[in-house]
Amino acid sequence: MKAIWQGIAKVLFYVISAALLVYAAARSLDFITKTLPPDQQIIGYLALAATSGGAIAWLMIFMYAAQGTGQKVISGLMVGIDLLGEFALFTFDTLLTSGQAGLIDALTADEIRMVVLGLSALIAVNILATFAYHLVDPETSRDMREAAVKDELENKALKLIEKRGSELAGDLAPQLAAQWAADFEKRFNNLNALGLGRINQPPAPPARKPGFALLPWKRKPALPTGSTTPPPPQAEAEQGFSNNGHGKDGAGPGPAPFRG
């Protein structure tokens, strides 16, 4: 039996809460639409996101989505701010309607202007809170801190490098020069690499055509060993007939020497 009454109590609680929120939202919407031209009445529904609709949304964010202290604080504060804006707005709408009906003194233009400015400020606070909620995200905060530390380390390292610039240049310049010289020598170590391989070379002798070798009797006789004087023409002629008894043309024996 107790469980049944508990269920009924929860249902009544949510029904009453929903009914009151709908009433407050209706009165707030009535005030908002009175500040808009007739052709822009639909825009008034969007302003409810800064009053009752915003309060419900921030409450759901606080309960199920907010992570870290920053997001919890922002979402919790926005629930209270939107509810206060909702209370103020439907109260002024009630006063405005009652004044128009003659039940009470009508609101002055300055008072209405103040309410309009308050509504604009409430919308602005909701927009700022949305951006701040993302900025205080734990992952975003961690990335920002890591980036700050990295920037500080890079700045200090660059300052040390600037102080040791001349020393580093003196140490590294000879090594770089040696590497460059070795690479240059490796790539340009001959004339061909420089494009000069065919300069000042003697022309090649013409190729001898095959089948036109000099005949034996037109060849110059070889000089005797140790002699630098060429043999006389008679010796050259006799040499042509003294090849194993063959004639000058090599076809048969030559004439016999003359005997006195």
13-44: pLDDT as tens digits: 999 989 998 999 999 888 888 888 888 888 88
Distance CA 93, CA 111 (A): 12
Give the chain's mean pLDDT: 78
51 versus 253: the higher-pLDDT residue is 51
Can you give the pLDDT at residue 198? 56
Tokens 């050259």 correspond to what residue? Answer: 236
Most confident of 72-86, 90-104, 138-152, 167-181: 72-86
Domain ranges of the chain: 2-140
Helix axes 52-64, 68-100, angle to 10 degrees: 160
100 pLDDT higher than 70: yes
CB 25 within 8 A of CB 18: no
106 versus 211: the higher-pLDDT residue is 106
CB 53 within 8 A of CB 25: yes
pTM of the model: 0.56
60 pLDDT higher than 90: yes
Tokens 């890079």 correspond to what residue? Answer: 154
